[in-house]
């Protein structure tokens, strides 16, 4: 903000400002660098003190970890993608109804929906665990389905809040015009409103994917072997007595790659999503 | 004329939530009023009224976990706020090429899988070869034998990891706030010769107040839910040094298999979160007006 900056700001002050920013950068970035570098080191290099910052990289750790942990990545991908799609399918019409249509008790519905999302996972874990243990004739513990269902609960509530905000910004007249021309309600939603909020949809879907990809608590309680996800796979290995640090670094690097990319691509929209639409970036 | 058909739009979502969110919550209240231990199926699940709740409130493990949680929430929210605010304030003050890159780098920790955050810091705290214990602290002349194995230091070790991962959220929200500030008051303040401290106190902070409230509330709600990092780094130990309410709840449910007591604990924590969420909604509502 050059207009707000005092031109007479002393050199000392500027050094102080840039110096502090630099320190914050180091604080934020060095741990990540350390992790990623660790994944390209051998075990001996990993435990060398003082730390090696420059070294000939090796891909051995990636080969080792992928031969064991590939199913976890597959599980996480399936669970995250299906849950995101299911949440979108359910939340788009719901958000549309809250934004546009005449419903009684709108505020109560919205409030209930938000409190489901904000509530601690651990308040619902016990009943959900018992529910999945005997879901009618089905035993859903340790299946991808149980995690898809519970992640959809959280993603769905989040999406309804976020998408309603995006829809509120599209002028009603656009839809009314289309409907006068013989378009149905559903047609107005799919042909007019949805294309206009595409950026919102992309960001919302991305945040749902991140939530499902990162989630650990439910995965820990609901799965054992067959449906183990990426975070749980890490945790299982970290609890070993002799942690294979270099392999774990490779595993962790692969685990953070999708969310890291997304963050860099959509940084501008993140703030709106993370504050449930309360703050616009 | 649309009323009945309109309801169809929201019906699938409501039906889904009724089955998978509302029903489990009601079921959870039911469980919390029973003696329900999965290890002893032969004992059945007799109704015991509020016994689980009474047991919890009287138990020293609950009181200790509540204290740890409160301490954790207050310090974590406080530190993340101070760091996030400082970052946003400084970044707003400067303009240089590559500022976008710096901003993105400062946000990165927020997107790291929480479990990985826990692993990463455990690696850095590792005795003998961890970046912090074996290199950074000794080069400052500080020698500690162990961080996560020490009852006092473990709490702070976990907290630092949490602050590292969460302060970008405050930074992100406040940066959006700083960007939307009007310019006129600052020009006036400059003409009046106000110092930057005076400008910060009497212009910036009041103008940012709604955004600050949102950031603090979201952080508080999040901090109450913290589990992943603690579980990976210390599993609540050593002893009970890092046992928060969530850790205690997990242990009650999936180590002691005492479903009744765990549900009661869940309901108690749910009420705390609900109260915080109501405040959050009030704040958003006020901001829109």
Q: DSSP string of B208-258?
A: HHHHHHHHHHHHHHHHHT--HHHHHHTTT-STTTT--HHHHHHHHHHTS-B
**A35 plus A73 within the same structural domain:** no
Q: Does the pLDDT value for residue A2 go beyond 50?
A: no
Would residue A98 count as lying in a domain? yes
Range of the domain at A15: 11-39
Would residue A184 count as lying in a domain? yes
Contact indicator for A271, A279 with CB cutoff of 8 Å? yes
Q: So what's the pLDDT on residue A230?
A: 93
**A141 plus A251 within the same structural domain:** yes
At residue B88 the predicted structure's pLDDT band, cuts being 50, 70 and 90, is very high
- Stretch A132-159: mean pLDDT: 90
Q: So what's the pLDDT on residue B4?
A: 62
Q: Does the pLDDT value for residue A5 go beyond 60?
A: no
What are the pLDDT digits (tens) for B261-286? 999 999 998 888 888 888 888 877 77
- Tell me the CATH number at A251: 1.10.3720.10
Q: Does the pLDDT value for residue B65 go beyond 80?
A: yes
Would residue A46 count as lying in a domain? no
Specify burial of residue A173 (Cβ count, 10 A radius: 0-12, 13-18, 19+). Answer: exposed
3-state secondary structure of A278: coil
Mutate to test the interface with A, among B1, B82, B113 (most CBs of A within 10 A): B113
Mutate to test the interface with A, among B8, B17, B130, B255 (most CBs of A within 10 A): B17
**A158 plus A34 within the same structural domain:** no
**A86 plus A27 within the same structural domain:** no
Contact indicator for B107, B171 with CB cutoff of 8 Å? yes
Task: Choose the closest CB to A94 out of B9, B25, B254.
Answer: B9
**A22 plus A76 within the same structural domain:** no
Separation between Cα atoms, residue B171 and residue B198, nearest integer Å: 22
- Stretch A109-130: mean pLDDT: 82
Q: Does the pLDDT value for residue A1 go beyond 60?
A: no
Would residue A55 count as lying in a domain? no
Q: Does the pLDDT value for residue B2 go beyond 50?
A: no
Q: Does the pLDDT value for residue B1 go beyond 70?
A: no
Separation between Cα atoms, residue A157 and residue B74, nearest integer Å: 27
What are the pLDDT digits (tens) for B155-183? 999 999 999 999 999 999 999 899 888 88
For residue B116, CA distances in Å to B43, B45, B46, B122, B125 come to: 41, 39, 41, 10, 14
Q: So what's the pLDDT on residue A281?
A: 66
Who wins on pLDDT, B201 or B114?
B114
**A32 plus A68 within the same structural domain:** no
Q: What is the dihedral of CA A176, A177, A182, A184, to 10 degrees?
A: -40
**A67 plus A35 within the same structural domain:** no
Return the number of other C-beta atoms located less than 10 Å from residue A257's C-beta. Answer: 11
Would residue A4 count as lying in a domain? no
**A172 plus A71 within the same structural domain:** yes
Q: Does the pLDDT value for residue A239 go beyond 80?
A: no
Separation between Cα atoms, residue B85 and residue B212, nearest integer Å: 9
- Stretch B181-204: mean pLDDT: 86
3-state secondary structure of A134: coil
ipTM of the complex: 0.87
CA distance A183 to chain B (A): 15
Between positions 98 and 137 of B, the ones with CB within 8 A of A are: 102-116, 118-124, 126, 128-129, 131, 134-135
**A29 plus A130 within the same structural domain:** no
Separation between Cα atoms, residue B27 and residue A126, nearest integer Å: 9
The domain total for chain A is 2
What are the structure tokens assigned to A48, written together? Answer: 């060398």
DSSP code at position B127: T
Would residue A118 count as lying in a domain? yes
**A29 plus A154 within the same structural domain:** no
Mean pLDDT (chain A) is 86
Lowest mean pLDDT among A2-11, B57-66, B158-167: A2-11
- Stretch B12-23: mean pLDDT: 91
For residue B207, CA distances in Å to A39, B105, B183, B213 come to: 45, 27, 11, 11
What are the pLDDT digits (tens) for B206-215? 899 888 988 9
Would residue A217 count as lying in a domain? yes
- Stretch A269-280: mean pLDDT: 80
Who wins on pLDDT, A78 or A11?
A78
**A193 plus A140 within the same structural domain:** yes
Separation between Cα atoms, residue A212 and residue A236, nearest integer Å: 18
**A112 plus A235 within the same structural domain:** yes
């Amino acid at each position: 903000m050059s207009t707000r900056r005092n031109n007479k700001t002393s050199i000392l002050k500027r050094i102080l400002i840039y110096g502090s920013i630099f320190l914050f950068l180091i604080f934020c970035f060095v741990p990540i660098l350390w992790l990623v570098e660790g994944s390209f080191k051998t075990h001996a290099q990993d435990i060398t003190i003082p730390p090696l910052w420059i070294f000939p990289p090796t891909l051995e750790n990636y080969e080792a970890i992928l031969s064991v942990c590939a199913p976890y990545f597959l599980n996480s991908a399936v669970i995250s993608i299906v849950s995101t799609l299911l949440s979108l399918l359910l939340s788009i019409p719901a958000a549309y109804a809250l934004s546009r249509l005449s419903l009684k008790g709108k505020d109560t519905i919205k409030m209930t929906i938000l409190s489901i999302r904000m509530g601690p996972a651990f308040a619902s874990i016990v009943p959900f665990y018992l529910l999945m243990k005997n879901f009618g004739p089905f035993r859903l513990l340790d299946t991808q389905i149980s995690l898809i269902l519970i992640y959809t609960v959280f993603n769905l509530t989040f999406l309804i809040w976020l998408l309603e905000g995006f829809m509120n910004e599209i002028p009603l007249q656009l839809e009314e015009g289309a409907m006068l021309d013989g378009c149905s309600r559903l047609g107005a939603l799919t042909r007019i409103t949805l294309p206009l909020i595409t950026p919102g949809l992309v960001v919302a879907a991305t945040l749902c994917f991140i939530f499902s990809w990162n989630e650990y608590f439910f995965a820990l309680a609901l799965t054992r072997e067959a449906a183990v996800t990426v975070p749980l796979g890490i945790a299982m290995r970290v609890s070993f007595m002799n942690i294979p640090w270099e392999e774990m670094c490779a595993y962790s690097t692969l685990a953070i790659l999708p969310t890291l990319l997304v963050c860099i691509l959509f940084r501008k929209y993140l703030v709106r999503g993370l504050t449930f639409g309360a703050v616009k970036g | 004329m649309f009323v009945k058909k309109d309801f169809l739009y929201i019906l699938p979502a409501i039906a889904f939530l009724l089955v998978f969110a509302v029903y489990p919550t009601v079921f959870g209240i039911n469980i919390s009023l029973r003696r329900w231990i999965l290890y002893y199926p032969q004992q059945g699940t007799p109704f015991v009224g509020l016994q689980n709740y009474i047991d919890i409130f009287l138990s020293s493990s609950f009181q200790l976990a509540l204290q740890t949680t409160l301490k954790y929430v207050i310090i974590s929210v406080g530190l993340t706020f101070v760091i996030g605010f400082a970052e946003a304030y400084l970044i707003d003050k400067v303009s240089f090429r590559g500022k976008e890159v710096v901003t993105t780098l400062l946000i990165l920790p927020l997107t790291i899988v929480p479990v990985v955050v826990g692993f990463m810091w455990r690696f850095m705290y590792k005795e003998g070869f961890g970046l912090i214990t074996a290199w950074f602290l000794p080069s400052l002349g500080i020698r500690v034998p162990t961080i996560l194995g020490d009852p006092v230091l473990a709490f702070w070790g976990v907290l630092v990891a949490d602050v590292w991962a969460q302060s970008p959220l405050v930074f992100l929200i406040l940066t959006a706030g700083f960007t939307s500030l009007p310019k006129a008051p600052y020009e006036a303040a400059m003409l009046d010769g106000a110092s930057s401290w005076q400008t910060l106190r009497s212009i910036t902070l009041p103008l940012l107040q709604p955004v600050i409230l949102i950031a603090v509330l979201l952080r508080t709600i999040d901090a109450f839910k913290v589990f992943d990092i603690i579980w990976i780094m210390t599993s609540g130990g050593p002893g009970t040094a890092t046992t928060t309410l969530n850790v205690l709840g997990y242990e009650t449910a999936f180590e002691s298999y005492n479903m009744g007591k765990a549900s009661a604990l869940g309901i108690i924590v749910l009420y705390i979160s609900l109260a915080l969420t109501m405040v959050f909604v009030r704040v958003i509502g006020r901001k829109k007006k």
